[in-house]
Amino acid sequence: MKNRPLHGLKVLEFSQYLSGPSAGLRLADLGARVIKIERPKGGDACRQLAIKNMWADESSLLFHTINRNKESFAADLKNPEDIIWIRRLIREADVVTHNFRPGVMEKVGLDYASVQAINPKIIYAEITGYGKEGPWKDKPGQDLLLQSLSGLAYTSGNADDDPVPFGIAIADILCGAHLAQGILAALIRRHKKGMGALIEVSLLESLLDFQFELLTTYYAGGEQPVRSNVNNGHPLLSAPYGIFETADGFLAIAMVPLKKLSLALLCTPLANFSQDDAFSRRDEIKQVLADFLKQQPSAVWLERLQQHDIWSMEVLNWQQMKAQEAYKVLQMEQAVRVGDKDIITTRCPIRINGERLFADKRAPRLGEQTEKIKAELVNQLI
Amino acid sequence: MKNRPLHGLKVLEFSQYLSGPSAGLRLADLGARVIKIERPKGGDACRQLAIKNMWADESSLLFHTINRNKESFAADLKNPEDIIWIRRLIREADVVTHNFRPGVMEKVGLDYASVQAINPKIIYAEITGYGKEGPWKDKPGQDLLLQSLSGLAYTSGNADDDPVPFGIAIADILCGAHLAQGILAALIRRHKKGMGALIEVSLLESLLDFQFELLTTYYAGGEQPVRSNVNNGHPLLSAPYGIFETADGFLAIAMVPLKKLSLALLCTPLANFSQDDAFSRRDEIKQVLADFLKQQPSAVWLERLQQHDIWSMEVLNWQQMKAQEAYKVLQMEQAVRVGDKDIITTRCPIRINGERLFADKRAPRLGEQTEKIKAELVNQLI
């Protein structure tokens, strides 16, 4: 796509692993030039974090997924010569991101005050686990730990389950999204007023924000919400909200008045409940429904439900999803060439003027652009 | 906070429920003026969506949570007189958002082409469930249904569980975050080049993006990941990653080499496994650990683990979390006055120049600012 909205902006990414780099990936796909600043020995630790032993070009497939469409500049932040280069880079940059624990950037003289002194208009954006004060500030900012501390592990699963974490790194992803929002908003202000900014987000605050509906309800009532005993979908929602087994699979049913549901399914036992029971007798109602829906295959139920405009859909795994025409028309996949093979990954989910934002530049090798970038900086000085 | 980054920007929010309005809330907290355009009869349907029968000032507590810091303009989009006012508003606006099903805005003459004809520099941002083409385009764009279709329900819970949805409206929240990112990026381009833009996101594409690490691994191997049989934390991660029961509660343990874990816990049975077993014998290892950790209270284990710098933390519910000093120092709560009582809710998770973005303006009554906004428009014409 031509005219990507962030074309011309330069981002220095000191971030590692997922949270900060996911923000960098979004900015890159929106058109920014994102340069990873990596330790000469090993680089971003994510390069070595292989899942299922999948590698490409000496880095983990995971690293490639998060860091395509970026460049890499190798620098030892404890080496004064390298720091001179970094200071030059900062002078030309628009954005700096990092996700080190509090104190690390201070130690190498790259905290906000120091960076601002080099480039007053810089947008300096940092991620911590728990903010920069308080008793947890030096604790590891790891996704599962944050899910566990923030109450989130008590929202999924059923009432008699142990706490159930989300099976995806939700804190990292949300916090990366918030960092990108803060950076973009600050760039807008800089265009208007010429001001730089310090943007701070934390994994914990991002997970609290994520739970804002549930927390506001909790603050008002003081009662811990109780997960449904039967097929929990959302701890605060009435029956039938949840996923149900059928004779040959599973289907999801969202909000629907019980009477309407009873008529659509021809499920007479449901008629014993009034709409006022939908929350207070949630588990009984869902059990009736669970027993009933096991009797026929999903297609039978879905036809009845969708004929009555009831919010219901089947439950698919990835294999089933990939086979759907509705998936294919999205064109969500893109191939990224690494060495002599293609990695298939997803594109940016945002479309602009009807165009999808594909960007198939592979992730850089460690330090791949160091010399090129140094030459650019030297040329600018002449 | 003074100098909020989006100060001076005007957003018209035709969106309802959660996805679009959550983007509007973020833009408002960052300084934009967000005007909800609502049907004169009933307004945003979320006003009537009460959870646990909690209300404030005639709208649901849920509505108040999502729509604080906004204004409300009542307009019937099928009434030509009201449409004249809307066209005037569009002339003065910077951003329009909506999350109607495909075709609805076309019918009332407020699709992108029509709005662009009124204001060529507008950023027109829309959310759909499944995009605007393909066999699912007219299906209801509801969060649980999207979780079910996108494979996400097979990432949480254990291998022998039925599909387990996330207990929070993850598709709505992520898609709202992506919408805000697209809007902000387009505003940056408009500042530089004077161009408006159409921004499109969908709940389905947002959930695919969310699963980008897992999907890239799936595309490469073609194997559906299998959730752990024991205390699943993430379907692709090795033992011990997960939440474990102790004698008096639960604790989370993230990535750690097995040998290090065995030494820290003084857990000799773990020494029977090599690091190469960590994924292939994941369930056996986790079962050994699960049995072992039940023998002592969390505090005993956490002391040993954290002494060895192992990524572990306790699992808290909201009541326990709220009591922590580490929660209190965040100052994540704010009071919003509605009538004669305070609603306690969360603030924006982004900090700018060290300041937290509090914004305690309550959600508007339906049409509360209609006359005031009309008067402003008339004054601008004179």
pLDDT in tens, B254-298: 999 999 999 999 999 999 999 999 999 999 999 999 999 999 999
Secondary structure (3-state) at B366: coil
pLDDT at A382: 65
Nearest to A230 by CA among A243, A215, A216: A243
Report yes or no on A61 lying in a domain: yes
> Residues 15-74, chain A: which have Cβ within 8 Å of B?
18, 26, 30-31, 51-52, 54, 61-62, 64-66
Q: A353 with A35: CB under 8 angstroms? A: no
Please give the single-letter amino acid code of residue A346: T
Q: Does pLDDT of B54 surpass 90?
A: no
Mean pLDDT, residues B331-359: 97
Decide if A250 and B325 are in contact by the 8 Å CB cutoff. Answer: no
Residue of B173, B212, B224 lying closest to A317 (CB–CB): B224
> Residues 132-161, chain B: which have Cβ within 8 Å of A?
133-137, 139-140, 142-145, 147-157, 161
Do A95 and A143 fall into the same domain?
A: yes
CATH assignment at residue B33: 3.40.50.10540
Nearest to A377 by CA among A12, A116, A2: A12
Decide if A349 and B209 are in contact by the 8 Å CB cutoff. Answer: yes
> Residues 197-226, chain B: which have Cβ within 8 Å of A?
197-202, 204-206, 208-221, 224
- Closest-CA distance, A264 to chain B, in angstroms, reads 17
Q: How far apart are CA B14 and CA B119, in angstroms?
A: 17
Interface confidence, given as ipTM, is: 0.97
Q: How far apart are CA B206 and CA B203, in angstroms?
A: 5
Buried b (16+ CB within 10 A) or exposed e, B181-210: bbbbbbbbbbeeeeebbbbbbbbbbbbbbb
Report yes or no on A63 lying in a domain: yes
**Into how many domains does chain B fold?**
1
* B172 assigned to active site: yes
Q: B252 with B242: CB under 8 angstroms? A: yes
Decide if A350 and B157 are in contact by the 8 Å CB cutoff. Answer: no
Q: How far apart are CA B217 and CA A318, in angstroms?
A: 12
- Closest-CA distance, A155 to chain B, in angstroms, reads 5
Active-site residue, selected from the candidate residues A172, A209, A342, A360: A172
Report yes or no on A16 lying in a domain: yes
Mean pLDDT of chain B: 96
Q: Is A328 on the interface with B (CB under 8 A)?
A: yes
Mean pLDDT, residues B171-187: 98
Q: B31 with B60: CB under 8 angstroms? A: no
Phi, psi of A294 (to 5 degrees): -70, -15
pLDDT at B382: 65
Q: What contacts B370, CB < 8 A, 6 or more positions away?
A: B72, B73, B74, B75
Do A43 and A139 fall into the same domain?
A: yes
B216-255: pLDDT as tens digits: 999 998 888 889 999 999 998 999 999 999 999 999 999 9
Q: What contacts A380, CB < 8 A, 6 or more positions away?
A: A92
Q: Does pLDDT of B53 surpass 80?
A: no
Report yes or no on B289 lying in a domain: no
Report yes or no on A320 lying in a domain: no
User: 3-state DSSP: chain A helix, strand, coil percent, rounded to 5?
Assistant: 40, 15, 45
Decide if B220 and A344 are in contact by the 8 Å CB cutoff. Answer: yes
Count the Cβ atoms, other than its own, within 10 Å of residue A306.
15
- Closest-CA distance, B88 to chain A, in angstroms, reads 24
pLDDT band at B25 (very low <50, low <70, confident <90, very high): very high
Q: What contacts B247, CB < 8 A, 6 or more positions away?
A: B294, B295, B296, B297, B298
Torsion sign across C-alpha atoms A242, A246, A251, A257: negative
Report yes or no on A215 lying in a domain: no
Give bridge partners of residue A345 from the DSSP assignment.
A334
Do A126 and A198 fall into the same domain?
A: yes
Active-site residue, selected from the candidate residues B94, B111, B172, B283: B172
pLDDT at A50: 78
Report yes or no on B193 lying in a domain: yes
Residues from chain A that touch B346, judged by Cβ atoms under 8 A, are 208-209, 211-212, 215-216
Q: Is B357 on the interface with A (CB under 8 A)?
A: no
Report yes or no on A270 lying in a domain: yes
Q: A37 with A12: CB under 8 angstroms? A: yes
Task: Give the CA distances from residue B313 to residues A46, A213, B341, in Å, rounded to whole numbers and listed in that order.
Answer: 22, 25, 37
The parent domain of residue A271 ranges over 250-310
Strand ranges, E, within A39-178: 55-56, 59-60, 71-74, 95-98, 123-128
Mean pLDDT by 10 residues, chain A (382 residues): 95 98 98 98 93 86 97 97 97 97 96 98 98 96 97 94 95 98 98 97 98 96 89 92 97 96 96 94 96 97 96 96 97 96 97 97 98 94 68
Do A279 and A183 fall into the same domain?
A: no
Comparison of pLDDT for B40 and A379, the residue scoring more: B40
Q: What is the CA radius of gyration of chain B?
A: 25
Decide if B133 and A314 are in contact by the 8 Å CB cutoff. Answer: no
